[in-house]
Structure 1
Amino acid sequence: MVEYNIFIVEDDPWYGEILRYHLSLNPDYKVSLFPTGKECLSKMWTQPDLITIDFSLPDITGDKLYQKIKETDPDIPVIIISGQKDIAVAVNLLKMGVKDYLIKDDSTKDLLWNSVLRLRETQILKKEVEFLREELGQKYSFNKSIIGQSNAMMDIFKLMEKAIKTNINISITGETGTGKELVAKAIHYNSVRKKKNFVAVNMSAIPEGLIESDLFGHEKGAFTGAVSRKIGKFEEANGGTIFLDEISELSLGLQSKLLRVLQERELIRVGGNENVKLDVRIIVATHKNLVEEVKKGNFREDLFFRIMGLPIELPPLRDRGNDILILSKHFLNDFVTENNMGVIGFSKKAKEKLLQYYYPGNVRELKAMVELAAVICENNEITENDITYTSTNNGEAFLFVKKTLRQHTRDIVKYYLNKNNNDVIETAKSLDIGKSTIYKMIKDGELI
């Protein structure tokens, strides 16, 4: 356990020694005793983790010493120990930010022990949170979280670099599965707001009657079932970033309320009267064309201009060229590592097949395809037969797969032959072509 450095500022040497001895029973604590505020301040460079202060010191009052400590290090927790039982003094100090106020009596040393334990646990948790946020920042660095080297993605990276330098609102558009939330997280965790919360809200996943409460919170008794106050997503994201996914699904009535929050930078919880000030960065996303939604009357024009900010349009995977193979290798390596499957690679024809597909589900669909191929492949190699197209829109998929007319014809004939149990005459009737055409394709080895 790391040594915990505690300062005790107490002008009564006998009482100070009792406190020092009692806390020193914990071998992790290094406890230093100072008779004056001046001596305490002269040792602040040693970076104490916690300070206890006698309110009535010979050279300075406890509140004044507290202020000077905070000027040196605003994060240091301070406990006041006083012979005064004046509640007003205690309340004032607690309002200033003092972590605890203890009255000198027989139970003080035990109360101090518990208070120090509690504050230390809080500090440890805070450091763990900061460490995790730093790890998230590294995880969502552009080169680690967003895989791709195509020109289309280089243009996106340039826009993201601009986005992290300001607090401008961001609107991300693109087809389903292109990575809109991933881009939003990367912007947040590389911005000055990275130490605060990133809160994601999928507007299409929340029942209409609960959206307002979920976004803005509610007070106790605001409606049936509101048994206590609830903090909404906007308050949860205060100081950080809120990501409103599928913003186009918000009803016109709630669009109006959202507009007010964005304009005033404050909200009122459902059933409440208190104005809650906000400092939140807004990132929105949708797979719909918001300009068209405005024209149709489905989306407020004033809200559109308020949220548009810096627009980032993510390219579909089919327009990213060799990124398909780069992503495939990345997803495969992650999957085999997580499942202890050893080394698996792609055959040349498997790579060619991956590049031919049009990916209506984009990156999300590619990931699913690669993971399935890794499971069903043999001899540690993914072949073209292991690559299964997963599109639910076969008609559109047919148009986008990169093949010649002859190749498409071959696939269609082969499909109907299989469907008709290799009956050439029935297949010729189904396709309205001559049976000699099919026999020739069989003779030429095209239907093998």
Structure 2
Amino acid sequence: MSKARILVVDDEASARNGLVKLLTQEEYVVDAAADGKEGLEIILEKAPDLVVTDLKMPVMGGMDLLARVKEQAPAIPVIMVTALGDVSSAVLAMRAGAADYLSKPIDFGALLVTIERSLERRELAAEAENLRRQLRQRDQEGLEGLLGTSPAMNKVYRMARQVAPSRATVLITGESGTGKGELARAIHTLSPRAKAPFVALHCAALAESLLESELFGHERGSFTGADKRRTGRFEQAHNGTLFLDEIGEIPQPTQVKLLRVLQERTFERVGGNEPVHVDVRLLAATNKDLAAEVREGRFREDLYYRLHVVHVEMPPLRLRGNDVAMLADHFLRKFARENHKRVDGFAEAARAKLVGHRWSGNVRELENAVERAVVLAEGNRIEEDDLPFDGTPIAQGPVRIPGATMAEIEKYAILSTLEAANGSTARAADILDISVRTIQYRLHEYGVVLPRARSS
């Protein structure tokens, strides 16, 4: 396992170079700066694991640097180096958030112990926060078959829980691969019909004549090959839930019959005259804009409003922030178990590649990518080259104006500027005239991880 990255900040070249040499011999990755301002730039670029800084320096001293670190990267421990006997400054530094302090001249053995102790405390704090995050996720996930804690998904969960107890028809929209079918099953599971059948039909997979038979069933002899009566999906779902996927593909003659079932809860089998009464809760999904289909005359307006009692939109994966990493970890564990392989996680570059990808195929594409990576991985973690797609620009494509929200425009502006600035948050902040902290907060919100710069 690689050693931590340490930043040494000291205006005395001999002291600075001596620490760099000694820490490098201990196999730490070491960066150096001559004052607090230069050190802060390195912190924003390379995100060290720990900072060792002198107290008295020109341009920006140690106390000012400590304050900026606590403001912009509070998880990074700072060890303050003070003059011998300067107890008051050491106390002020500890009160201001320093992890520890040492007096000059530095005892290198004591420094190593202090560094290891500070790094251990940081690791424990990170583990505790990870545990708290997992507990929050367990509380928030709550819907069978769906993962994610992003604001977009929490909105979906709230809607699902609100609508599940009713018998209202739900129209689920969203791009292909976003999990519309999983949401439909979750709504059924949360409903009073949970113990009754959940029946699904992919409407785009069948020709018109076969689709009617699948939906409503048929009588014996109603067409060539109909050698016996067949029960349709509506009858199969009696007292339960029927999920019609890609409902925008249903031809208009079938739309008329479907509308009647929703209005009267009655239909006839193909080739029959006997009415069949059913109690079915209908859930429907589509990746089409049904309102536009109505305007173009391809979808019945009355059926559209029957389906559109409650509307839930599944967000695309690119707008779900940190859910990408969570889903990737879930799929990795799943496919490692299925393939009897030990794959412990993703290399940092691979994880950055995952969260920076556009995922036009959404969760389904991510699942396929992780499965392939697990199968082909030669080591015990997924490397960047194991992922079956090229790295994509972090900006993830232009926004549509008009048509984009202010949040989408802001995201595009930030990510495009970062791309132009070669990932430098400091330069991007200067170009956009916003703070580095704002950019870092937005990146966390988007789930974008910038690759850590390599030491020279």
- TM-score, with normalisation over the residues of structure 2? 0.56
Mapped contact 2:164–2:187 kept (Cα < 8 A): yes
Mapped contact 1:347–1:384 kept (Cα < 8 A): yes
| Match in the other structure for 1:154 | 154
| Match in the other structure for 1:306 | 306
**Unpaired segments ≥5 residues, structure 1:** 1-140, 411-448
Letter in 2 for 1:291: A
Q: CA deviation at 1:142?
A: 3.4
Per-residue CA distance 1:16-40 (angstroms, 9 max, x = gap) = xxxxxxxxxxxxxxxxxxxxxxxxx
Q: CA deviation at 1:203?
A: 0.5
Per-residue CA distance 1:243-289 (angstroms, 9 max, x = gap) = 01111101111111111111111111111111111100000000001
Q: 1:252 to 1:341 in 2, by over 3 A?
A: same
CA distance in 1, matches of 2:390, 2:335: 18
Mapped contact 1:197–1:237 kept (Cα < 8 A): yes
Mapped contact 1:220–1:228 kept (Cα < 8 A): yes
| Match in the other structure for 1:207 | 207
| Match in the other structure for 1:190 | 190
CA distance in 1, matches of 2:376, 2:205: 33
Per-residue CA distance 1:134-178 (angstroms, 9 max, x = gap) = xxxxxxx93442100000000000000011111111100000000
Is structure 2 residue 370 aligned with structure 1 residue 370? yes
Letter in 2 for 1:198: F
Is structure 2 residue 289 aligned with structure 1 residue 296? no
Q: CA deviation at 1:399?
A: 5.7
Give the length in aligned residue pairs: 270
Q: CA deviation at 1:378?
A: 2.7
CA distance in 1, matches of 2:378, 2:397: 28
CA distance in 2, matches of 1:254, 1:343: 49
| Match in the other structure for 1:270 | 270
CA distance in 1, matches of 2:416, 2:253: 51
Query: Superposed, which structure 2 residues align to 1:422-433 within 5 Å?
Result: none
Letter in 1 for 2:334: D
Letter in 2 for 1:249: E
Per-residue CA distance 1:361-394 (angstroms, 9 max, x = gap) = 0000001111111122232111222222289x99
CA distance in 1, matches of 2:306, 2:190: 23
Give the CA RMSD over aligned residues.
Answer: 2.7
| Match in the other structure for 1:359 | 359
Q: Secondary structure at the match of 1:270?
A: coil
CA distance in 2, matches of 1:148, 1:228: 46
Greater C-alpha Rg: 1
Q: Secondary structure at the match of 2:257?
A: helix
CA distance in 2, matches of 1:326, 1:283: 28
Is structure 2 residue 163 aligned with structure 1 residue 163? yes
Mapped contact 1:369–1:388 kept (Cα < 8 A): yes
Q: CA deviation at 1:211?
A: 1.0
Mapped contact 2:143–2:186 kept (Cα < 8 A): no
Identity of aligned residues (%): 45
Q: CA deviation at 1:406?
A: 9.3
Q: Secondary structure at the match of 2:326?
A: helix
Q: Secondary structure at the match of 1:282?
A: strand
Mapped contact 2:257–2:267 kept (Cα < 8 A): no
CA distance in 2, matches of 1:143, 1:242: 19
CA distance in 1, matches of 2:285, 2:208: 19
Mapped contact 1:325–1:355 kept (Cα < 8 A): yes
Query: Superposed, which structure 2 residues align to 1:179-258 within 5 Å?
Result: 179-258=179-258
| Match in the other structure for 1:323 | 323
Q: Secondary structure at the match of 1:145?
A: coil
CA distance in 2, matches of 1:179, 1:303: 24
| Match in the other structure for 2:349 | 349
Mapped contact 2:350–2:384 kept (Cα < 8 A): yes
Per-residue CA distance 1:386-410 (angstroms, 9 max, x = gap) = 222289x99x976699965896899
CA distance in 2, matches of 1:186, 1:267: 27
- Where relative contact order (Cα < 8 A, 6+ residues apart) is larger, the structure is 2
Q: 1:208 to 1:239 in 2, by over 3 A?
A: same
Q: Secondary structure at the match of 1:294?
A: helix
Q: CA deviation at 1:194?
A: 1.1
Mapped contact 2:203–2:244 kept (Cα < 8 A): yes
Query: Superposed, which structure 2 residues align to 1:25-44 within 5 Å?
Result: none
